[in-house]
């Protein structure tokens, strides 16, 4: 069973991260799953990327124009796929849910 953190909004939550946009240079922007920390892109052989998602501070103008100047973007350090925070992702705390 999936762990549901308190306060998380799972609106029709599907266990896949959807591609929300593709940039002009071909990079994909995906929506993260809650608390997801590794890239789930697959290469042409079907192998999972599993690169670490790191906060991307050098957000391009194209991304800002699509998602706003204050958008929080994470980038896979391996395949450079971009990720937006999950919808309903709560502020980072270490609280247990009970
Ligand atoms: Zn990746």
pLDDT of amino acid 4: 57
Q: Which residues of 44-67 are buried (b: 16+ CB within 10 A; e: fewer)?
A: eeeeebebebeebeebeeebeeeb
* pLDDT over 90 at 64, yes or no: yes
pLDDT of amino acid 6: 59
pLDDT of amino acid 13: 47
pLDDT > 70: percent of the chain:
73
**Average pLDDT over the chain, rounded to an integer:** 82
pTM attached to this predicted model: 0.70
Ligand 1 centroid–CA 67 distance in Å is: 21
pLDDT of amino acid 49: 95
Task: Let me know if 39 is exposed, middle or buried by CB neighbors in 10 A (0-12, 13-18, 19+).
Answer: buried
Q: Which residue has the higher pLDDT, 2 or 57?
A: 57
Ligand 1 centroid–CA 45 distance in Å is: 14
Ligand 1 centroid–CA 3 distance in Å is: 24
Ligand 1 centroid–CA 15 distance in Å is: 17
Domain borders along the chain are 19-84
76-85 residue pLDDT tens: 999 999 999 8
């Amino acid at each position: 069973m999936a762990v549901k953190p308190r306060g998380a909004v799972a609106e029709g939550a599907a266990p896949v991260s959807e591609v929300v946009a593709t940039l002009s240079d071909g990079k994909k922007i995906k929506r993260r799953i809650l608390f997801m920390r590794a890239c789930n892109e697959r290469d042409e052989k079907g192998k999972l990327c599993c690169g670490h998602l790191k906060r991307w501070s050098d957000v391009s103008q194209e991304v800002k124009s699509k998602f706003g100047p204050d958008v929080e973007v994470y980038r896979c350090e391996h395949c450079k796929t971009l990720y937006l925070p999950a919808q309903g992702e709560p502020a980072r705390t270490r609280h247990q849910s009970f």
